[in-house]
Amino acid sequence: MLAATRIYQVAVPTPLYRVFDYFASASLVAGTRVRVQFGRREMVGVVVGTLEHSELPRNRLKQVMRILDEAPLIPPTLLMLLQWVADYYHHPLGEVIHTALPVYLRQGRPVAFKGEMAWSLTEAGRGVRQEMSHRAPAQKRLLDALAAAPDGLVAKQLMEISLRWSATLKVMRAKGWVSSHPHDTPRVSPRNILPSPELNPGQKSAVAAIAARLGHFHPFLLHGVTASGKTEVYLNVIEQVLSQGKQVLVLVPEIGLTPQLVERFQRRFQAPIAVLHSGLNNQERLNAWIAAIGGKASIVIGTRSAVFTPLNKPGLIVVDEEHDTSYKQQDGLRYSARDVAVMRASREKIPIVLGSATPSLESLKNARAGTYTLLDLPDRTGGAGMPHVRLCDMRRLKPTDGLSLPLREAIAARLEKREQTILFLNRRGFAPVWMCYDCGWVAPCRRCDAQLTLHRKRQKLLCHHCGAEQEVSLSCPDCHGTNLHPLGEGTERVEGALEKFFPRARIERIDRDTTLRKGTLEEKLRRIHAGQVDILVGTQMLSKGHDFPNVTLVGVLNADQGLYGMDFRASERLFQLILQVSGRAGRADKPGEVLLQTWHPAHSLFAALQRHDFHGFAEFALGERRETGYPPYSHLALLRAESPVPGAALRFLREARGLAVSLSPGEGVQIMESLPAPLERLAGRYRAQLLIQSRDRTPLQAFLRRWVVQLAEAKFSSKARWSLDVDPVDLY
Ligand code: ADP
Ligand code: ZN
Ligand code: ZN
């Protein structure tokens, strides 16, 4: 009896760094979900391997309770990718798999599409329609109707053609003439498809270079200034991939912010597109997943986690705005979707295009080293020039509510010409500080080492770190005076000031507070496009990919934010951000202007911005990184710890550091000192961190592997909550 059973390694979602052995009498393939008894709980796990012998004695080995999939759920290449992710980010495989699956599949539900199904003609059906005899009128009528409906027909429509449509279609499906598919992928009719514009020489050679590598792994870095036609390059390559019957995965930073991009894809291709974003419910997410794995969706567009979407016939991966930090997950499995995408492309043996107007220094270095092929689009399309960048020296200009006189004059000039203005301020709320002018007290968050932001319309003080809400104190708790005032400006205050300065202008504010309700952002964007808005003020939400042809002025109210930040990437971020928002100005045929309000006009970063000199900036920044030994000239890992008990996180890290040193980490791997996090107390928890830096990746990875396993089992580890962040993007 024993010989007939097999032993399987099953990954279950637990924090333990190992897989678990179970036996089953059926033969199971890796990638299949099973329900197993784990301790006293039942869990959904995934078979990841087969064993001849288990180290567990036979009587302690449990049997798989139930097999949940007839065929393996996770294709082998994807399973291997997830294995790599687990190894690279030092995260338990069971949790990695759990993260990668739609919620319903994690819960053990069947791979079942629910939702309206549509029916379409197959190639065979199209062929047979011509010679259809009149003896099968019901079939003929359905064939004719389906032939006229490229999106397919749903039950309601079929009913109007034949009451017995269901039985008839079943017969026809058995003959291979029709197929059914999910109806939730909107498609446009062929006559509304927008053709590609004639590509310029730069675009043509980029498309040719990528197309030449289809069917092989090859990473490309597509660097093109804003509005240089990068998206058009993606679309043209994608067209070729689709014509080979292959699928395309497109990653974007945030879909809610770029409905135009999705729309552009939908208006270009007849092919069904699955869009994966945070607004989907669990069933919709599963539907999209099924459409992708079944090959029904030719294009999958999604945010970070879409990188794990299984594809039937992958042909190309595109990562738009590859520098965007939202590709990095900041909790749980802290992966970089961009980096995972590159690894995935290499496993799937397909090309990958990383596109940006402001590539990350990591990708740029890879391009310079020849690991990635650099494709440059130096000019804006249609002869539009780069916007003129002007600095407002705020040491001389006294701003009112954050707006300097030159900026106000520039806005007035746009209003006169009926052109639009975007004002950018990376701070929401009315004022970042609520202060007693008598004694200097500022309203603190009770749970964080941070100040509260005044939100005047809501009449509340809010903590932007933990979300805590407090009443606006009208007397000072320290000196009992009543001389309390808001200090500094946020978007809400600027909006109010604009209303005073320009009473007749139509003003919109876009930030997290004004776009809470579903659909409001889309509505605001629509109004801007329709020319119903004169001045737009908002946070970084505005910096991403929007194409507003009538915007000719961009004002950056506090260009210094991040100039002297604690993070070694602060200036890179600032440069990217300003170049991106500047890209919103004067896209089409109207020249644009960018006004930067700064207290440090002599800073070299602004000189590079005025010249639109990304490479100049990159040269400087890379030099700085090389000198200081920061990435991309080294590799980092950050061990973070937190605890509600003061000092516990630091004590844990000191123990962890001791363990690290005792493991002799190896050539070039440096263990820094344990430190309190820059924002030490957050939401009532005390946080600390320990940085590991290494010249090369291999010894770092080897060390982390040994260290993390021991950490997970060490007794002192229960004293604080901890996590390891490989390639951290934020050091706080
Ligand atoms: P990016 O992705 O670099 O911001 P897009 O591909 O969105 O640039 O192009 C910017 C604008 O220029 C879009 O409106 C696009 O339709 C248009 N465009 C792109 N390439 C061409 C071209 N070769 N000829 C004419 N218009 C183009
Ligand atoms: Zn006071
Ligand atoms: Zn707080």
Q: Whose CA is nearest to atom 10 of ligand 1?
A: 227
Distance separating alpha carbons of residues 91 and 98, to the nearest angstrom: 11
Q: Is 80 exceeded by the pLDDT of residue 542?
A: no
Structure tokens at 659: 């363990």
Q: Is 90 exceeded by the pLDDT of residue 94?
A: yes
| Distance from the alpha carbon of residue 227 to the mean position of ligand 1, in angstroms | 6
Q: What is the mean pLDDT of residues 482-511?
A: 96
Q: What is the mean pLDDT of the chain?
A: 91
Sheet holding 20-24, edge to edge: 62-63, 20-24, 6-11, 41-51, 33-38, 66-67
Q: Which of 198, 205, 232 to mutate to test the pocket of ligand 1 (most atoms within 8 A of CB)?
A: 232
Q: Is 90 exceeded by the pLDDT of residue 639?
A: yes
Task: Tell me how crowded residue 585 is: count the other CB atoms within 10 A of its CB.
Answer: 26
| Distance from the alpha carbon of residue 223 to the mean position of ligand 3, in angstroms | 39
165-179 pLDDT, tens digit each: 888 888 888 988 988
| Distance from the alpha carbon of residue 615 to the mean position of ligand 1, in angstroms | 22
Q: What is the mean pLDDT of residues 426-434?
A: 95
Q: What is the mean pLDDT of residues 374-392?
A: 87
Q: What is the mean pLDDT of residues 634-647?
A: 96
| Distance from the alpha carbon of residue 230 to the mean position of ligand 1, in angstroms | 7
| Distance from the alpha carbon of residue 676 to the mean position of ligand 1, in angstroms | 47
Q: What is the mean pLDDT of residues 373-383?
A: 87
Mean pLDDT lowest among 1-15, 343-357, 400-414, 669-683: 1-15
Confidence of residue 141 (pLDDT cuts 50, 70, 90): confident
Confidence of residue 188 (pLDDT cuts 50, 70, 90): low
| Distance from the alpha carbon of residue 335 to the mean position of ligand 3, in angstroms | 26
Mean pLDDT lowest among 14-28, 146-160, 295-309, 680-694: 146-160
For position 545, what pLDDT does the model report? 56
Residue showing tokens 């043509």: 204
Q: Whose CA is nearest to atom 5 of ligand 1?
A: 229
Mean pLDDT lowest among 36-40, 238-242, 569-573, 659-663: 569-573
Confidence of residue 2 (pLDDT cuts 50, 70, 90): very low
Confidence of residue 219 (pLDDT cuts 50, 70, 90): very high
| Distance from the alpha carbon of residue 257 to the mean position of ligand 2, in angstroms | 42
Percent of the chain surpassing pLDDT 70:
96
For position 257, what pLDDT does the model report? 61
> Does ligand 1 lie within 6 Å of residue 378's CB atom?
no
For position 24, what pLDDT does the model report? 92
CB 660 within 8 A of CB 423: no
The one-letter amino acid at 277: H
> Does ligand 1 lie within 6 Å of residue 544's CB atom?
no
For position 181, what pLDDT does the model report? 76
Residue 144's nearest CA partner among 167, 116, 186, 172 is: 172
pTM over 0.95: no
Confidence of residue 300 (pLDDT cuts 50, 70, 90): very high
Distance separating alpha carbons of residues 122 and 130, to the nearest angstrom: 14
Sign of the dihedral through C-alpha 313, 318, 319, 320: negative
Q: What is the mean pLDDT of residues 133-156?
A: 82
> Does ligand 1 lie within 6 Å of residue 580's CB atom?
no
Reported residue count of the chain is 732
Q: What is the mean pLDDT of residues 383-390?
A: 83
Q: Is 60 exceeded by the pLDDT of residue 126?
A: yes
Distance separating alpha carbons of residues 275 and 31, to the nearest angstrom: 25
Residue showing tokens 């990095």: 328
Query: Which of the ligands is closest to the CA of residue 480?
Result: 2
Q: What is the mean pLDDT of residues 58-85?
A: 93
Q: Is 90 exceeded by the pLDDT of residue 76?
A: yes
Sheet holding 685-694, edge to edge: 669-682, 685-694, 635-643, 721-726
Q: Which of 200, 225, 231 to mutate to test the pocket of ligand 1 (most atoms within 8 A of CB)?
A: 231
234-260 pLDDT, tens digit each: 999 999 999 999 999 999 997 766 677
Percent of the chain surpassing pLDDT 90:
65
> Does ligand 1 lie within 6 Å of residue 382's CB atom?
yes
Q: Which of 381, 584, 589 to mutate to test the pocket of ligand 1 (most atoms within 8 A of CB)?
A: 381
CB 501 within 8 A of CB 512: no
Q: Which of 572-576, 580-584, 644-648 has the highest mean pLDDT?
A: 644-648
Q: What is the mean pLDDT of residues 266-275?
A: 88
Contacts of 437 (CB under 8 A, 6+ apart): 483, 484, 485
Q: Is 50 exceeded by the pLDDT of residue 493?
A: yes
- Bridge-based pairing state of the strands 218-224 and 685-694: unpaired
Pick the atom of ligand 1 nearest to 228's CA: 3
Confidence of residue 187 (pLDDT cuts 50, 70, 90): low
Which comes out higher in pLDDT, residue 344 or 2?
Answer: 344
For position 186, what pLDDT does the model report? 54
Query: Which of the ligands is closest to the CA of residue 484?
Result: 2
